[in-house]
Amino acid sequence: MAVRNLSTPQGPVVQPRTALQLIDTLPTSLVAALMRHAHRRSKADRQRETWLIYFGDVRIGTIGLRAGVPNSAPQWGWSCGFYPGIDPGEHRSGIAETFDQARADFLAAWEELAGTRTEADFEAWRRERDWTTWKDQMHDLALPLPTQRPEGIARCFCGEVTTRTLDAHVRTAHRLTAA
Ligand SMILES: [Zn+2]
């Protein structure tokens, strides 16, 4: 999956697939086969043709090829918003003929949404991200959470004993650094 930070002004946008980039270096006999392969894969890969858009370290939306739409329909879709931090009812989305149009629409929507945000909204998203990541790690290690213990105490994978104040522990000890 591709990650692109739209706040960095860089040219265009849709990167050619690696497979297609290789074509120039391959013997001609292989090119046709590879083209067919690339073509056959393209539909299945549509879900993966998605750009994740970050504002700083906060993921604020996506732009991607729409899956399962006829060729005559707009091929690109975008969505803008993050949760928690922006009420789902305020999230925006749309469709567009081209990636550049989708990006322009996205940025217009983001400018409006961003204008009504405070740092606390971004922080709410980061805390949720950190909490979810931590909880998943505990789960993967089959470690109980304090809330799953009768005495309300459990040990974190870092070795520290956590109690019901574990929200503070995650915030101080397991804060993820910016991407
Ligand atoms: Zn810990």
* Cα 84 to ligand 1 centre (Å): 23
Inform me whether the pLDDT recorded for 41 exceeds 50.
Answer: no
Question: By CB neighbour count within 10 A (0-12 exposed, 13-18 middle, 19+ buried), where does 106 fall?
Answer: buried
| Closest among 7, 10, 11, 15 to 61, alpha carbons compared | 7
pLDDT digits (tens, 9 = 90+) for 42-85: 555 655 678 888 888 898 999 999 988 999 999 999 999 999 99
* Cα 162 to ligand 1 centre (Å): 8
* Cα 57 to ligand 1 centre (Å): 22
* Cα 172 to ligand 1 centre (Å): 9
* Cα 39 to ligand 1 centre (Å): 47
* Cα 159 to ligand 1 centre (Å): 6
pTM: 0.68
pLDDT band of residue 140 (cuts 50, 70, 90) is very high
